[in-house]
Structure 1
Amino acid sequence: MVSRLKKAFIKSESGIDILKFKIKEKLKLNNPVFIYPYRGFGTSELVHLHGRILEKEDIIHEPSDLPDTTWTNLKKVWKRYESDEVPGVEVKGLLYGVEASAVSDDEGYFTLRFTNLDPTKLTNGWHTVDLKITDMPFDIEFIETATAEVVISDQQKKFGIISDIDDTIIQSDILKPLKMISNVLFKNAKKRIPFEGVQELYKRLSCNYLHPLLFVSGSSYNLFDMLTNFCEHHGIPKAPFIMRDLGFGPDQWLKQDSQEYKKQSIELILNIFPNLNFVLIGDSGEKDPEIYLDIHECYPGRVMAIYIRHVHSDLRRNEIDERVKGLDIPFLLMQSSQEAIDHAAKVGWI
């Protein structure tokens, strides 16, 4: 009975989204629709690119010279979560002559997967993908083309890096709900604070993108613009963000278990880079140690080291210390980024 009610609610949610969009279409209240690509990643064998079809909100999707006030920040937060997605839109991507296409789902998301690319063109680092809307099922104004970015690894280097975000690179105070909410509502990307040494740690580990860096976050894609701006402002290397859809479906942010989501996302990365091993970086605030240890157990030989920023209690530290006794890979429960830098330098990774 509960399952049927949940399915009915999800179906109702999707129906309401589409109805809202059709009403706006009828009344000519739509902003121009555009392709909002997230950063992709892959190899010459497979490139994965995720994106969304949305109504454009200049305050979010364009550079803005609005004053940095509480009102501006609140308006940005509202616009991020009040996004107007467009379902049923066909998108085509072109990467060095290889095409891929997809249709946006009820939440406006699409995923392009490019296969069998020319390895001589896909050197380590960033490349661009040309995107185009090839079928728009609504009579609305839209921006036909866009450009996406994908980071490529030839898997000949030592390793890649998979990192959490909240309380790992950015001070989010997840364990203090009121402070966490205040951070989201009243602080923009420039005012959010990174942990000391994060810039140097990630720059040296990624080695100018020779070692691919990927962020896996339990947050939703609604925060993508804020996080990319945060990293750019604070000198943290550019990287793809694998995040979640905000919704009530079984694979969405409000329903899906965070541990399950993170494990699936890391497995996606491991499968796309089958010949690359990884350093995993997270924090002790939630379940990163357990997730990373589970990955190490399920994929032996693929995890080179686990770095965990300790942001919790002594009891949590003791719990983690007990869990990693006898572990056959380096596990660092660190108070500062410098500890990870020192370890990586000692073993010759940087």
Structure 2
Amino acid sequence: MRLRAAVARLVHGVAWRAEYLLDRLRGQRDPRVVIEPYIGYADPDHLVLRGRVLTALRRHKPAPTQSLWLNFKQMLSLFLTDEVAGVELQARGVTAISDEEGYFTLLLPREARIGAGWREIPVSIPGRKGSAICPVLIASPEARFAVVSDIDDTLLRTGAYSLLRNLWTSLTGNALTRRIFPDAVTFIRSLSQDGLNPVYYVSSSPWNLHHFLTRIFARAGLLRGPKFLRDLGLSKTQFITGSHGDHKGSSINVLMAANPDLAFVLIGDTGQKDAFVYRDAVARHPGRVAAVVLREPGPGPDAASSQAMAEIAALGVTLLHGPSFEGFAAELLAEPVSRKAHQAM
């Protein structure tokens, strides 16, 4: 075990230094920088703008009949990003610096007069022409609850419960061939109650797919909302930053802190440990989770997932599960889910 750990540390060190040197060479060779905006959100004190600084944006115009090989090449190109560190960004007098992977977060003071809904905020790089627009969702003070939903096999047909099926579907499809479950579109829209209740999406998919997923959502008519995706890049300490469960759990923590007065409905599936992640979230945040909804893709829940689901129900949280979300919205909305978190249970 000690030898394996030592080898892992050595390989990681070599890989991280190689990526660092490659990024430096790319930066010297290509000084162009562009901003890729992500969908932001609001907390009680700030508007949280997010994005990434790259040397170029890769945008494709796929055709529904194009070959699997072309799909694969286009998908692969989304991961071959040239990120730019140390770039200063500015919005409404607030500045931030892009990190080693090009990511940035701008925390704009939230003024009392700013109402609920969507805001489009320009973000620029001082000394350079042009800017990007970062959309931000501000939750309504009248919201009854907030919704957090997984993406793969919860909303988007993927087959993530099988590694080979997941890789095949993810790498050989395109934005026109990937399919959202029809019941997911109506379910999410019903829970939002015409935008009254904020909807957030949390996934272990990488940030490289933010625009790709946004395009799929828009084409299917799935409600727009801030996404919390995962950094799959190298850091000084890890090959991949954080595990599947850690990423989802920490994202839920952030969203609950951003909406301290709201109860939450957590939506996922039984194919990627969502039952465990949501069970732990219920335990960490007593009184904050009003309901857990789980799609059962493929073979359905295994024994361990079934046990986690039973533990969620035993904690007094409404648990709905099945191969489809049909009928779940009416059941949830009929319950007296209060907007005050401490009254949610």
Q: TM-score, normalised by structure 1?
A: 0.85
One-letter amino acid of the counterpart of residue 46, structure 1: H
Cα deviation digits, residues 159-204 of structure 1 (max 9, x gap)? 1100100110011101222222121122112211222311111111
Say if 2:276 is the partner of 1:290.
yes
Contact 1:334 1:340 in 2 (8 A): no
Which residue number in structure 2 is paired with residue 130 of structure 1?
122
Contact 2:279 2:311 in 1 (8 A): no
Number of matched residues? 332
Instruction: Tell me which moved more, 310-319 or 212-221.
Output: 310-319
1:253–1:297 distance in 2 versus 1, CA, 3 Å: farther
Deviation, 1:25, is 4.8
Say if 2:120 is the partner of 1:169.
no
Say if 2:311 is the partner of 1:323.
yes
Please give the alpha-carbon distance, in whole angstroms, between the structure 2 residues aligned to 1:257 and 1:340.
Answer: 30
1:12–1:209 distance in 2 versus 1, CA, 3 Å: farther
Deviation, 1:75, is 2.6
Please give the alpha-carbon distance, in whole angstroms, between the structure 2 residues aligned to 1:203 and 1:251.
Answer: 40
Match 2:88 to one of 90, 102, 105:
90
Instruction: Tell me which moved more, 175-184 or 252-261.
Output: 252-261
Please give the alpha-carbon distance, in whole angstroms, between the structure 2 residues aligned to 1:151 and 1:160.
Answer: 12
Contact 1:44 1:119 in 2 (8 A): no
Contact 1:130 1:148 in 2 (8 A): yes
Please give the alpha-carbon distance, in whole angstroms, between the structure 2 residues aligned to 1:21 and 1:321.
Answer: 44
Task: Within 5 Å, give how 1:103-252 maps onto structure 2.
Answer: 103-115=97-109, 117-121=110-114, 123-134=115-126, 144-249=130-235
Contact 2:313 2:319 in 1 (8 A): no
One-letter amino acid of the counterpart of residue 69, structure 1: Q
Name structure 2 gaps, 5 residues minimum.
338-345
Deviation, 1:208, is 3.0
Work out the percentage of aligned pairs sharing the same amino acid: 27
Which residue number in structure 2 is paired with residue 45 of structure 1?
45
Considering only aligned residues, what root-mean-square deviation do their CA atoms show, in Å? Answer: 2.7
Please give the alpha-carbon distance, in whole angstroms, between the structure 2 residues aligned to 1:290 and 1:65.
Answer: 37
1:104–1:26 distance in 2 versus 1, CA, 3 Å: closer
- What SS is found at the alignment partner of 1:149? strand
1:101–1:69 distance in 2 versus 1, CA, 3 Å: same
Please give the alpha-carbon distance, in whole angstroms, between the structure 2 residues aligned to 1:23 and 1:236.
Answer: 40
- What SS is found at the alignment partner of 1:343? helix
Name structure 1 gaps, 5 residues minimum.
136-141
Contact 2:89 2:95 in 1 (8 A): yes
Instruction: Tell me which moved more, 220-229 or 11-20.
Output: 11-20
Please give the alpha-carbon distance, in whole angstroms, between the structure 1 residues aligned to 2:237 and 2:206.
Answer: 12
Contact 2:149 2:202 in 1 (8 A): yes
Deviation, 1:14, is 4.8
Contact 1:216 1:241 in 2 (8 A): yes
Match 2:22 to one of 20, 23, 36:
20
Contact 1:283 1:310 in 2 (8 A): yes
Q: TM-score, normalised by structure 2?
A: 0.86
